Amino acid sequence: MLTIGINTNFDTEKKRINIPNDYINCIIRAGALPVLLPLTDNEDIWRAMVDNVDGMLFPGGEDLHPKLFGEEIHPKCEEIVEERDSQELFTYAHLLTTGKPFLAVCRGIQMVNVAQGGTLYQDIPAQYETTIAHSRSGEGANRAHQVRIQPGTLLHQVLGVDSCWVNSRHHQAIKDVGRGLRVNAISEDGLVEGVELESGYPGIALQWHPENLAAAGDAPMQRLFDWLVKEAGKRA
């Protein structure tokens, strides 16, 4: 059976990893075995994590440290787990050397953008003028706003739609797009909602939470996880 590695969140109070079940169930519905990747400080283990799975999922979670894109911490910046930053940036870079596919969600898209040399709005309400409430914590699959899917992109090919309603649970977002990235989705207020690699590498990064929408029966969102597993099978 194909395996998809899922990076995990870290509960700093209870000192344990965790991951929402919707990510796990989406991978299972797509026909693969989800493998939870623990937080550690061992680079050999980080490398082995990538080498021993067929694809990767970078999920949502804590804020990245702004020093990674050359800024001081903004007062509205929230919890930071630098150990997770180090591990995910390493595993992402190593993943790109293997050709294995990835799907990056919420924090995941921010990590990909920073890894490619881009920057972030540390707090949308404080740094970006918009009438959309992007940080709707606890709303799960509730649709918050629409996004336009850019024609000719991998995301457009996978979803098969020109626009869609998405949920929204993020207070940070892409500011300057990283090198080698192509925008594939844009919100109604102009914020970047998705990117992929210009090289055609099999990777999709999204700002919304497709795992919640897929759990609520949104077929195009489940296609993202189906695509991830299908791509993983091509390289297994």
Q: Describe the crossing of helices 43-51 and 82-96 by its angle, rounded to 10 degrees.
A: 50
The angle at the Cα of 205, spanning 203 to 206, to the nearest 5 degrees, equals 150
Q: What is the pLDDT of residue 141?
A: 63
Q: Is the pLDDT of residue 144 over 90?
A: no
pTM over 0.85: yes
Query: What value does the mean pLDDT of the chain take?
Result: 95
The single residue of 88, 193, 196, 211 carrying the catalytic annotation is 211
**Chain centroid offset of residue 1 CA:** 24
Active-site residue identified among 106, 145, 164, 170: 106
pLDDT at 140: 56
pLDDT for the residue 139: 56
Question: What is the average per-residue pLDDT within 72-90?
Answer: 96
Catalytic-residue membership of 211: yes
Note if 170 is an active site residue.
Answer: no
Joined together, the tokens standing for residue 180 give 């080698």
Amino acid 24: pLDDT: 98
- The 10s digit of each residue's pLDDT in 178-190 is 999 999 999 999 9
Domains and CATH numbers, the chain: 3-235 (3.40.50.880)
CB count in 10 Å sphere of residue 188: 14
Q: CA triplet 141, 142, 144: central angle to 5 degrees?
A: 125
> 88, 171, 209, 231: which one is catalytic?
209
The band of 157, judged by pLDDT with boundaries at 50, 70 and 90, is very high
Specify whether 106 is catalytic.
yes
- 71-82 per-residue burial string, b: 16 or more CB within 10 A, e: under 16: eeebeebeebbe
Per-residue model confidence as pLDDT tens digits over 2-45:
999 999 988 888 889 899 999 999 999 999 999 999 999 999 99
